[in-house]
Chains A and B, each alone.
Chain A
Amino acid sequence: MVWLPNMIVVALLAGAFILFRTVRRNRFWTESIARLWRRRRFSLIIIGLYLAVALLDTISWVGGSASENASDVVAAHKPRSVIDRIFQPDSFMEISYSEPFADVGFYGEQPLAHPGKHILGTDILGQDVFYRSLKGVKIALLIGGLTTLIVIPIALIFGLAAGYFGGRVDDVVFFVMSTLASIPNLLLLIALIIVLGTGPVQVCVALGVTGWVGFCRLTRGETLKLREADYVQAAKALGASHLRIITRHIIPNLAHLIVITFALQFTGLVLAETVLAYLGIGLDGSWGQMIDQARNELSRSPVIWWNLAGATVLLFTLVLCVNLCADALRDILDPRTRKEAQ
């Protein structure tokens, strides 16, 4: 399975390129992106850094020395990512806790193997906290990104079908939505994960099932409105096919909603994972799990705070930047403010 993560990287880069090509031809989107860049330069750069870390953590191959202990056959045949190769986690570790930049261990004061090199100290197993926090980036983006990739097509298809065709289709979609919406999100999520099992794909599917309803309702409502719009009626009168009307006239007018929802949903998902981690059904190696493990360390005396701080700060920064961008995007793309600006 060495090839899978690398294929994902290739697919993502290809997708990004195609997106770039399509967007570049559209003046509205290029202008919106330029405005977003002017207003949220800093956040965008930080998000870019996170993306870069996640990519570096996905590109991986077998080979090179996994640890000084060359006889460790299993470790030698495990693919390791660029980040792993930079940090060499198997050798870059201590016996147990050590403070950030410390020269000696936290308990016992014995000298460290790598004095002054652990920017965020080490955890109870002696692992570098900074390395573990960086590993969390990929998982966070996976939770947010993969789930949203599941949610948006489903919600779009059902929302469009319900809103555009109405009648029976609408009744069925509406019923499914109201059924799912009547169960508290967290409980439904837990039930799904308990039944499906924990694992990245299962968790993302569970998050997707609970998350699509809101967006679907939005799509349905918006489509209902657009269906009655003059230009759609005109296209219909000219004999355009349903498919053409939907792809040419309706989806482009939903695009701004998709973008805003993506951004808002993303932060909600990343934050929700911490709760799942607390309940013991989160993803291995996620920030939520780090926070959950670190929470008892606060009551130690003297306090061990760096474990908590690493994950918290990275999580907070990512969510804040995405929130800021979502906010700006809403301003830029909102048709109401757009009209006022005209």
Chain B
Amino acid sequence: MSRALVELQNLKVTFPTPQGRVAVVDDVSISLEEGKVLALVGESGCGKSMTALALMRLVPKPGRIEDGSGIRFNDIDVPTLSVPEMRALRGNEMSMIFQDSMTSLNPVVRVGDQVVEAIRLHERISYDAARKRVLELFERVGIPDPEQRFSTYPHLLSGGLKQRVMISMAVATRPRLLIADEPTTALDVTVQAQILELLRELKRELGTTILLITHDLAVVNELADHVVVMYAGKVVEQAERRTLLTSARHPYTEGLLGAIPQRGERGKGLNEIEGVVPPPDEWPAGCRFSSRCNQLFAPCRDNAPPEVSFGEGHVAWCHALDKGAGS
């Protein structure tokens, strides 16, 4: 078993609201092994992006990472790093592909120069040398006609090309950890497949560890080794990919699986979850999923769900499962 590259211990990210600070990421503990792909799954608003941003210490103001959150990256204690040390890590050892490639590139800087900047921030090489590297990268990530694309502006590129630029920017420094935040959400289906293929190749070639954020279980099936399911700021279930996709236990995960029709062969029937994730200040006490759960019973509303282990790293947090295991 290889060692953990990323280790989150009781991570807590809070935002102020009129009712006081609420935790949008609450007590999240995840560990990610070197060279593996970990998928973070959940609906919109579950705190997936915030978890990733916390890892890079990029939580936007007025949000904040609470004291007592453990973030270890490559055996470095991230919260105690100085600002310059953190800067040296970002974009160099760990880098991120953002959710919305439409707005994540600077509209008034040539795309090539944006990638050049990513390289030259961390390596002392000349502009021309960096430019050559960028052209090779563009070639590698499948951007046609790199010379010409180098000096165009983002709004002239299609969504797929923009995402390729983002990817080349993220891998330009050969980071040890690549965070991909819903890298395919904004794209149409054929382009999605191409981008996934590209990520898979890059992982194989560079051996990069990937933290993949998605709400699409098909993407999980394509790429992930290990899956962590989040709901309303909490981890509700985690397991190896195969285990999770075939024998998920938590009602929320089952709901998510049910939400994709091609998994009908699982024989459990479709049990789609009704409604959407409520905003953070309306999250229930007790089990956060209790307001939407279809297997609700007495303790769910008031008590935090217990941890239930099924072996081989398959863990879920649910009252219903606890009762099931106990009887």
Contact = CB atoms under 8 A, between A and B. Distances in A.
Interface residues of A, number: 2
B84 interface: no
Interface string B12-25: 00000110000000
B197 to A, nearest CB: 39
A339 to B, nearest CB: 11
B279 interface: yes
Interface in A305-342: 341-342
Contacts of A342: 279
Contacts of B17: 341
A15 B17 CA distance: 37
A342 B22 CA distance: 13
Contacts of B18: 341
Contacts of B279: 342
Contacts of A341: 17-18
A167 to B, nearest CB: 32
B140 to A, nearest CB: 41
A341 B19 CA distance: 10
A341 B15 CA distance: 11
A307 B178 CA distance: 70
B59 to A, nearest CB: 16
A174 B279 CA distance: 41
Nearest to A340: B17
Nearest to B62: A340
A342 B279 CA distance: 9
A290 B18 CA distance: 47
A342 B18 CA distance: 8
Interface in B34-93: none
B19 to A, nearest CB: 10
A333 to B, nearest CB: 16
B238 to A, nearest CB: 32
A242 B279 CA distance: 36
A342 B278 CA distance: 12
A341 B281 CA distance: 11
A242 to B, nearest CB: 35
Nearest to A341: B18
A342 B281 CA distance: 9
A342 B17 CA distance: 8
B96 to A, nearest CB: 24
Interface in B1-33: 17-18
B18 to A, nearest CB: 6
B62 to A, nearest CB: 10
B17 to A, nearest CB: 8
Nearest to B281: A342
A342 B15 CA distance: 12
Interface string B275-286: 000010000000
A227 B155 CA distance: 30
A256 to B, nearest CB: 19
A341 B18 CA distance: 7
Nearest to A342: B279
Nearest to B18: A341
B115 to A, nearest CB: 33
A17 B154 CA distance: 56
A205 to B, nearest CB: 44
B220 to A, nearest CB: 32
B130 to A, nearest CB: 39
Nearest to B279: A342
B16 to A, nearest CB: 10
A340 to B, nearest CB: 9
B110 to A, nearest CB: 32
Interface in A236-293: none
A58 B279 CA distance: 53
Interface in B252-288: 279
A64 B17 CA distance: 61
B61 to A, nearest CB: 12
A31 to B, nearest CB: 11
Nearest to B17: A341
B229 to A, nearest CB: 27
A332 to B, nearest CB: 13
B32 to A, nearest CB: 32
A74 B31 CA distance: 94
B243 to A, nearest CB: 39
Interface string B241-255: 000000000000000
A337 to B, nearest CB: 12
A26 to B, nearest CB: 19
A149 B169 CA distance: 56
A34 to B, nearest CB: 13
A300 B279 CA distance: 67
A109 to B, nearest CB: 64
Nearest to B15: A340
B84 to A, nearest CB: 32
A66 B17 CA distance: 61
A230 B17 CA distance: 28
A209 B279 CA distance: 46
Per CB-CB distance, the 3 closest pairs between chain A and chain B, nearest first, are: A341-B18, A342-B279, A341-B17
Interface of A: 341-342
3 contacts: A341-B17, A341-B18, A342-B279
